[in-house]
Amino acid sequence: MYEKNEEYIVTCIDDTDLNSGVVKIDDMVVFVPNLLIGEKAKIKIVKVNKKYAFGIIIELLKPSINRQELTCEVAKTCGGCQLQHMSYAYQLDYKYKHVKKLFDDIEVKPILGMDNPWYYRNKAQFPVKIKDGKVQMGFYRQHSNDVVTCKECKIKTM
């Protein structure tokens, strides 16, 4: 039986449409956010269900050639850039693959990418909160109502 906080060395064999890598530990499927196919990592189990578990990356041992450095200072905490760790070409392939899975009986054309994959989004919602008497504006932390403040968004046109 697998337990919370146990650590394992794993290699990612697949991915989900929710940006989690899929690994197997014996017969247990484990979902690991931000792990790319082919990457080897040390992970920690953070939640265990009957048939699957969730883990987090502790250390990336062998990164994918499709992984890129984060250019945004809040990308790890902000809920707006879930794919920024992927190269742009890989993002397009990832999106195409998962859209095609949803519409397997319909022809899905390849995604037309941009010359510059930054500063393209023309709409965004910026939550505003007052904390300790100060106004905070930014994006929500993923799976949370906490506001992550940011001075610049790398995908939003200014």
pTM above 0.85, yes or no: yes
What pLDDT score does 158 carry? 64
User: Distance between the two ends of the chain, CA-based, in angstroms?
Assistant: 51
| 85 burial level (CB within 10 Å; 0-12, 13-18, 19+) | buried
Residue 147's nearest CA partner among 156, 158, 157, 138 is 138
Evaluate whether 48 touches 85 at the Cβ level (below 8 Å): no
Residue 31's nearest CA partner among 63, 39, 47 is 47
**Domain boundaries in the chain?**
7-62, 66-158
Evaluate whether 22 touches 29 at the Cβ level (below 8 Å): yes
User: Is 7-62 a domain of CATH 2.30.130.30?
Assistant: no
At 58, is the secondary structure helix, strand, or coil? Answer: strand
* Percent of the chain scoring above 90 in pLDDT: 59
Return d(Cα 94, Cα 133) in angstroms, integer: 42
What pLDDT score does 55 carry? 98
**What band does 104 get if pLDDT is binned at 50, 70 and 90?**
confident
Q: Say how many CA atoms lie within 13 Å of 127 toward its Cβ.
A: 15
Specify which residues 54 forms β-bridges with.
31, 47
Residue 39's nearest CA partner among 81, 10, 16 is 10
Query: Any residues with CB less than 8 A from the CB of 108 and at least 6 apart, and which?
Result: 96, 99, 100
- Is the pLDDT at 1 greater than 80? The verdict is no
What pLDDT score does 152 carry? 83
Render pLDDT for 119-157 as a digit per residue (tens, 0 to 9). 888 888 888 989 899 888 888 888 888 888 888 888 887
Mean per-residue pLDDT of the chain: 91
Evaluate whether 22 touches 10 at the Cβ level (below 8 Å): no
- The helix (run of H) or strand (run of E) holding residue 31 is strand 28-33
